[in-house]
Structure 1
Amino acid sequence: MNNNEHLSFYYNMPLSRDGCEEMYVRFHRFETAGGTADFGTYFNGISIAKLLRYTDISSLRISFCVFGRVKADIAVRSQDNTQTVIFSEEKSGSFDIDIRLCDIPEDSVYLYPVLTALCDGVQIISASVYLCGISHKEPSAAIVMCTFRREEYVRRNAEYITAESEKYSLPIKIIIVDNGRTLSEADIPDSVTLIPNDNTGGSGGFSEGMKAASAMGGFDRLIIMDDDITLDIISIQKLIGFLRFIKPQYADISVSGSMLFSDMPCIQFEAGGCFDRHGVQKGYGHSFDLSLPDKVTENEQEHNINYGGWWFMCMPMRYVDEGNLPLPFFIKYDDVEYALRCKLRIITLNGVSVWHERFDNKFNSSAVYYNMRNYLHLCSIHCDDADVAKAVRIRLVEHLCRQQYNMAQAVLMGYEDYLKGIDYLKSISPSENHAKVSKLNYRFLSEQEIIRESGVNELSEGIKISENTVRRKSMRLSFYSALLPSFLCRKNAIVSTTDDRKEMYYKVGTAVHYNFRTHNGYITRHSMRAVMKYLLKYLTRRRK
């Protein structure tokens, strides 16, 4: 270690978490001689390729305390998933393993220990990682959370992050913006700053938090985080440890935390994304099962990421000032627009992530409105040749064919409000506009209510029409039966999910839009009159 280098704590290696054990340590009969504990996982694997590229570290130390005797291997995994052992020794009790980065094969993606029990009854007491290198600046981060009447979630997260941050001396400060004005200072830890706010949506709440963080001063990083997430403190440990040693030429790098599904905790929704000049949006790492070694390796691959979801997003504080705040989108696409405007350089790190509820669990007409309006604004600001009319038409037709007439109306409302311009968006009351839009939301029914009102015997029995049972040409000529009179439609109700295509609604009189995860849904009925009404409205608007 040189005079200008120092050894610094990186993260504790947690051993398990209910429901996603193999994202932490893969144990195989470790309690008996010959059993193994493999740390080459999503959370405990060390992103060595990114540390080599972006930081000024020269070596790392892995510290263990074990009961019994083990063979301690240090392995690396390459992009083709080849495993190479670069260190192997028998150890017992408390021990350190130091690895110089110059001794690591060039094609290594991540590095990890593997312990093999040499006797029965071996136990791992603790495990942690330290980095050694040149620290150009000690990071300090403000975490901004925006909440609206989710007191239980925000209290839990504020208390957990505060306690763990104090335990590990993490340089962070939490700011909570309360859009519902339902929290009090007594509800949260003393060190947390609470800002009461009107319901201006996520974009408005985050703006208030960003202004507060900027006014406080002393932060070089901003972490934007949803209130209803579940977080392991290892995500913040890994992030802060990475930023502590970052090279000066990468000082403006942003880190997008991945989103994992709360109900399937090993499955990833997205690890950063790209919104291109044609209005095409692509997320990376969709549906990766991060309990699998090959997916952990693939997830380390770098992409052209130009936005990150605000469930967890870390960016340099220097971008934040009074004149550079999120547009008043309320919800949807505010994170994408802000990242594109700031031209953020974004990477992801395995282990920096949160668990979040699926978005389709809360999907309703108001979300359709914000998606449509804000997507169009996003395209008008940042795209060269996005086909706005086509985007509206595709979404409108999809909802009309699926009998979601309220959502079709929401598409047109979003289109009309977009055409009024960005100044109109800035002039309206976000809360009043949201109240108006929310009137289009469907009333979700319980399983029993749906069975009673729709006529299906049970929700697993809806009649689904395969596109192979009718000719595709007939479907298209009748606009997938949307233009057929109702008396030509079948009397039987179908049970539909968000994944079903519009072909499944061919000649369907009644549709049950059911979420099998949340066990609720809503009922729609075929209406040629509604289809004609919204098509005519769209065509009239197009001519103008």
Structure 2
Amino acid sequence: MEQATAGDTTPIDSNIGALEEVLTEPAGRDRLIVQRGLFASLSPRVPEKMYVFTKGAAAADRTGLQLADGASANTNTYFGRFPASFWQRWTDVDTVHVELAYASSGAATFSVWASDARGRERLVTVEKVSGSGDLDLDLAIERFVDGGALWISAEATSGSLNISDVRWTVAAPEHLRPAAVVICTHNRADDCSVTVGTLASDDGAMADIDAVCVVDQGTDQVQTRAAFRDVADRLGNKLVYITQPNLGGAGGFSRGMYEITGSPNSAHANVILMDDDILCEPESVLRMNAFANMTVQPTIVGAQMLSLSNPQMLHVSAEREVLDEITAGELTPGARMGIDLVKKKQDARFDAGWNGWWTCLLPAEIIADCGLPIPLFFQWDDIEYGIRARFAGHPTVTLPNAGVWHADFYLKDYDDWARYFSIRNGLIVSSIYGRFDANDISKYLFRKIGELIVSMQYGLAATFIKAAEDFLAGPDFLHDGGQAVLGELRELRAKYPETQPQSAAKVGADSDPHTQMSVWEFEPDKKREGLVLAKRAVQQFTGRVDRRSVTVPAHFANWWHVSLFDKAVVTDSSQNAVRVRRRDKDTAVDLAKQAAKVCWRLRKEAPRMKKVWQEALPQLTSRENWARLYGIAE
């Protein structure tokens, strides 16, 4: 991602309270722009084919397309398609109007195409033009319930053709919703400066955004960056900059929601939450906001996550939670992930259980009905909120042509302090909304900790155990918003050497010269995994393991593989370092005892904890609780 440069460290003026001045209902209008025809990204990282396909001699910029004689183009692309199926399902709009300006030195042909849920294409209309003018088309949004999209193609049949100012519009509602963007950041000053700057650079996307609220929880603050100061000058009174102690993503996003929904004219506002370290496509914000203005009921509208390292790949699509396995999510029917968006399309309509807050819109009415997020500090806060909203009758829609680029999750190592929040918060959310069967949940957790122990990830096993213990301590543990536990986690994990990343070169220099790389494609049958785990545990306990010095690539570092050795140098998933895992019988036994104890408690106390957490939810998510955490007098 492009880096902003550090500059003058003089603080910018804080605009806390400025929401009272800038959050106003947009002026009435006849038409609402719901999508613009863009032909290139603001970033050179993103391939043109995410916006337009061209054949022959052609040139494209952000808003214009130039075709030489015989050249053609079509917008059957990720950002070029209009998601007609989602509009037919979630709005009462029955017609979308497409307009564009053209200039041809000869003759040209414009065609509109549609697809269905299976990707079968059909021609909607063909228009032949010449000279210069405007093309105006009314397209029916029908026959798309199960899936399908609309897009435009153009051909310079004789002479050159220039296209510009492509707009998809619908009849505007009587009252448009004011909107504000909230960006939470913690010591990513350069990334945040770039993200805010990218959004602010697009006047069209910013036209219906009244405020950009940056909640800075770091010690390396965004306001010290010259690039951010320049953006602040551009945004003027639209910028609301707030500093506060680190309360995690939950605390940062909640602060923006707290300020916006507490301001005048916010009863029907759209609150758009956005990560600080994404590669932002401002058009996605325009599309989400426009869609939310037209849904038949207040609806959470989310953007998809695209891959920052491979920008034409879909990283995360629509998801649902798997609470019985304390798992953040799995694909919903029809949703896709890990696909090349240049080669494959998302034609089948899909539903979503929730949407991550990398970029997600929450209507103020839903916040008023459901309250603010639960102070989970990190992870599961967005999932919990989406589930809570869904249980209250408020749907989530993940738009397939609205996306932002985010760093790939697979480049983050699993053996990390963040796993504490994955497990603790997963238990909390599962207890509130899931079956939370005492037998199933305790067995599942013990199994997972056992896998970590046999693979010699002792620090991570201890992290899981602490997560379960803190869950059982009850809601009072969240009294400080999650700050104190960070220090406790660092202290706990420091006791286990394998949690510390090391230089691959240094470890390699100190290793046995006969060290071998060990790779193994074997994966135990799902029905026999329990038996394999028991066998590995016995082998580790008795020392009947391979004592050769081995290195294990990250891709092959499964518990059933690493547990075969007495020592293994395992590549970190980040590919920046290695972890040295050594068998330690005493540590393994001690952790197994702790795991058995906490899982037995979980089995006995699960029904009570379910009730405790459910009863605590209204207080935890109240404005009063967040005001206390922020040190604000309500």
Query: Is the contact between residue 466 and residue 504 of structure 1 (CA under 8 Å) also seen in structure 2?
Result: no
The residue that corresponds to 1:417 in the other structure is 470
**1:258 aligned onto 2:304:** yes
Q: Is the 8 A contact 2:284 2:403 kept in 1?
A: yes
**Stretches of structure 1 lacking an aligned partner (at least 5 in a row):** none
Distance 2:574 2:52 in 1: 28
* Alpha carbons 1:365, 1:406 under 8 Å: kept: no
Q: 1:193 to 1:463 in 2, by over 3 A?
A: same
- Are the counterparts in 2 of residues 139 and 171 from structure 1 also a CA contact under 8 Å? no
Q: What secondary structure, in the 3-state scheme, does the structure 1 residue paired with 2:399 have?
A: coil
1:213: how far off?
Answer: 1.3
2:420–2:464 Cα contact (<8 Å) kept: yes
Q: 2:416 aligns with which of 338, 356, 365?
A: 365
Partner of 2:559: 502
Instruction: Pick closer, same or farther for the CA change 1:329–1:100 going to 2, 3 Å.
Output: same
State the Cα distance separating 1:282 from its structure 2 match. 1.9
| Structure-2 residue corresponding to 1:243 | 292
On the 8 A contact 1:396/1:408 being kept in 2, the answer is yes
Deviation at 1:114, TM superposition (A): 1.1
Would the aligned equivalents of 2:217 and 2:246 in 1 still touch at CA under 8 Å?
yes
Q: Distance in 2 between matches of 1:15 and 1:6?
A: 26
Deviates more, 1:473-482 or 1:212-221: 473-482
Going from structure 1 to structure 2, the CA distance change for 1:360 and 1:366 (only over 3 Å counts) comes to: farther
* 1:5 CA drift (Å): 8.8
Q: Secondary structure at the match of 1:479?
A: helix
Q: Is the aligned partner of 1:463 residue 2:463? A: no
Q: Match of 1:15, SS?
A: coil
Aligned partner of 1:10 among 31, 34, 41: 34
1:218 counterpart (265, 290, 295): 265
Letter in structure 2 aligned against 1:99: D
Contact 1:456/1:493 (<8 A) preserved: no
Among 499, 523, 527, the alignment partner of 2:580 is: 523
CA-to-partner distance for each residue in 1:430-459, whole Å, 9 max, x for gaps? 22211221342733334423433455899x
Q: Map residues 464-483 of structure 1 onto 2, 5 A cutoff.
A: 464-467=519-522, 475-479=532-536, 483=540
Return the letter of the residue paired with 1:54. Answer: W
- Are 1:399 and 2:438 an aligned pair? no
The number of residues matched between the two structures is 531
Q: 1:380 to 1:103 in 2, by over 3 A?
A: closer
Deviation by residue 1:319-373 (Cα, 9 ceiling, x = unmatched): 3359922222111111111222232301121221211112343344311111111
Q: How much does 1:25 deviate?
A: 1.0
Matched AA of 1:84: R
- Kindly provide the CA deviation profile for residues 220-257 of structure 1, in whole angstroms up to 9, marking residues without a partner as x: 1111111111111110121222233x15xx23111121
- Distance, in Å, in 1 between the alignment partners of 2:49 and 2:136 is 23
CA RMSD between the two structures? 3.2
Could you say what secondary structure the match of 1:297 adopts? coil
Contact residue 108 and residue 155 of structure 2 kept, 8 A:
yes
Deviations 1:175-205 (A, max 9, x none): 1111114326564314321111111111112
Q: Does 1:438 align with 2:490?
A: yes
Give the structure-1-normalised TM-score. 0.88
Partner SS state of residue 453, structure 2: helix
TM-score of the pair, normalised by structure 2: 0.76
What residue number does 2:11 align with? none
Q: Is the counterpart of residue 375 in structure 1 residue 426 in structure 2?
A: yes
Aligned partner of residue 511 in structure 1, secondary structure: strand
Amino acid at match of 1:257: A
Residue number in structure 2 paired with 1:274: 320
Distance (whole Å) between structure 1 residues aligned to residue 379 and residue 371 of structure 2: 18
Partners of 1:256 and 1:414 lie apart in 2 by 29
2:151 counterpart residue number: 112
Task: Judge which range, 495-504 or 34-43, deviates more.
Answer: 495-504
1:159 offset after TM fit, Å?
Answer: 1.6
SS of aligned partner of 2:445: helix
2-structure distance, mates of 1:163, 1:45: 23
Instruction: State how far apart, in whole Å, the 2-side matches of 1:456 and 1:232 are.
Output: 50
What amino acid is the match of 1:287?
A: M
Q: 1:324 to 1:477 in 2, by over 3 A?
A: closer
**Displacement after TM superposition at 1:292 (Å):** 4.3
Alpha carbons 2:306, 2:405 under 8 Å: kept? yes
Partners of 2:207 and 2:29 in 1: CA distance: 20
Give me the whole-angstrom Cα distance separating, in 2, the residues matched to 1:72 and 1:20: 24
- Cα distance 1:473–1:85, how it changes in 2: closer, same or farther (>3 A)? closer
Change (3 A) 1:133 1:543: closer
Rounded Cα–Cα distance in structure 2 between residues aligned with 1:406 and 1:478: 22
Please give the residue correspondences for 1:65-464 in structure 2 after superposition, counting only pairs within 5 Å. 65-66=102-103, 68=105, 69-92=107-130, 93-101=132-140, 109-119=148-158, 122=160, 124-165=162-203, 169-183=207-221, 185=223, 187=225, 188=228, 189=232, 190=236, 191-219=238-266, 220-244=269-293, 246-247=294-295, 250-275=296-321, 278=324, 281-284=329-332, 285-292=335-342, 294-298=344-348, 301-303=349-351, 305-320=352-367, 324-343=371-390, 344-363=394-413, 364-386=415-437, 387-423=440-476, 425-428=477-480, 430-439=482-491, 440=493, 442-454=499-511, 462-464=517-519
Verify: 1:55 aligned to 2:91, yes or no: yes
